[in-house]
Amino acid sequence: MPELPEVETVVRGLRDKLVGNKVLGVSVLNTNTIKNPEDISRFEEGLNNKKIQDVNRRGKYIVILLEDYMHLIIHLRMTGQLLYSDDNLELTHLRVVWNLAKGKLYFNDIRKFGTVSLLASGELEKEKGYWSLGVEPLDDDFHLGYLKGKIKGNRPVKSFILDQSVIAGLGNIYADESLYLAKILPNRPINTLNEFELKSLSGAIKHVLAQSIKNKGTTFSDFVDSYGGRGSNQNHLKVYGRGKENCYECGTTLVKDKIGGRTTVFCLNCQK
DNA sequence: CGATAGACCTGTTTGC
DNA sequence: TGCAAACAGGTCTATC
């Protein structure tokens, strides 16, 4: 479900409610949600009476920083939801609950793919996906030079930009949208893109992500913000989910194909 | 090194 | 209508 804009929307909603708040206790309802289940007692007790100092996002990871440099690292994967409420919520797929001095934090996840781990500062490399993340695409250091430095081999440009060690937080929706906006075919080998195309691509990625954050993310079915609200960016998508429909720009039937194992939609006329 | 398939789960949509 | 297959925003691992 959630890519960078959705995770950013969740983090922005949580920050005010969590920073300065304090963890009183944790209930784990599905042990497999915890990344190191053998360490479950440490997870359940390690946060008691710890103050929350900050709530941030890195790629698609949510990072909650607590006293003593403890990091609560949460990945929503496909259907995870992180909800805050002052009242008791009845949730059908509840996996973890944090009891706070004020309110509660709920991790709800239909498919159980989501993960939560508790790590000290010196242990962050244990979270391999987190540790090896590439640049934040909305930061200034995501630019032509960065992309050129990352290019090797000839894999499809779509696989390249979905690689989290290249661009942190880009997922299937915004990869397709960015390639459409940049007018580049998703199966183009990455080493055939010229500088102009790489520049348009990085610009398109920034534009598409920023627009979705403004719209509070894309909601098809499961994504909600930290209060259960839906995003509206699904009303602005140009290609994702529109296979066999007509291109808004030229009317050509959009093609749906598999690239790098992921469903991909594009316009054979607008994209070169 | 890269590409591909399968695994992890549950719910919804599609196709015969 | 009914049921089985296919599919879904994401990673991780094994295998070639």
Model confidence pLDDT, tens digit, residues A85-138: 999 999 999 999 999 999 999 999 999 999 999 999 999 999 999 999 999 999
What was the pLDDT predicted at A87? 94
Which amino acid, residue A201? L
Query: Which bases of chain C come closer than 7 Å to a protein CB?
Result: 7-13
Q: Residue A190, CA: closest nucleotide via C1'?
A: B2
* Cβ of A78 near strand C (distance < 7 A): yes
Q: What is the pLDDT of residue A77?
A: 97
Contact at 8 Å (CB) between A227 and A86? Answer: no
Tens of pLDDT, residues A74-87: 999 999 999 999 99
Residue for token digits 């429909």?
A: A245
How many Å apart are A247 CA and B13 C1'?
Answer: 23
Residues of A involved in catalysis: 2-3, 60, 262
* Mean of the per-residue pLDDT values of chain A: 95
Is it the case that residue A1 has pLDDT exceeding 90? Answer: no
A27: nearest Cα among A113, A107, A115, A127: A107
| A163-187 pLDDT tens trace | 999 999 999 999 999 999 999 999 9
Q: Kindly state the tokens that stand for A19.
A: 């920073």
Full 3-state SS string of chain A? CCCHHHHHHHHHHHHHHHCCCEEEEEEECCHHHECCHHHHHHHHHCCCCCEEEEEEEECCEEEEEEHHHEEEEEECCCCEEEEEECCCCCCCCEEEEEEECCCEEEEEECCCCCEEEEEEHHHHHHCHHHHCCCECCCCCCCCHHHHHHHCCCCCEHHHHHHCCCCECCCCHHHHHHHHHHCCCCCCCEHHHCCHHHHHHHHHHHHHHHHHHHHCCCCCCCCCCCCCCCCCCHHHHCCCCCCCCCECCCCCCECEEEEECCEEEEECCCCCC
- Residue A118's pLDDT is what? 95
> Closest protein residue to B2 using CA and C1' atoms?
A155
Q: Is the pLDDT of residue A144 over 80?
A: yes
Closest C-alpha among A165, A66, A188, A167 to residue A121: A66
Report pLDDT digits (tens) over A151-161. Answer: 999 999 999 99
Query: What pTM, to 2 d.p., does this model score?
Result: 0.97
Decide: CB of A92 under 7 A of nucleic strand B: yes
- Each residue of A17-68: pLDDT tens digit? 999 999 999 999 999 999 987 778 889 888 999 999 999 999 999 999 999 9
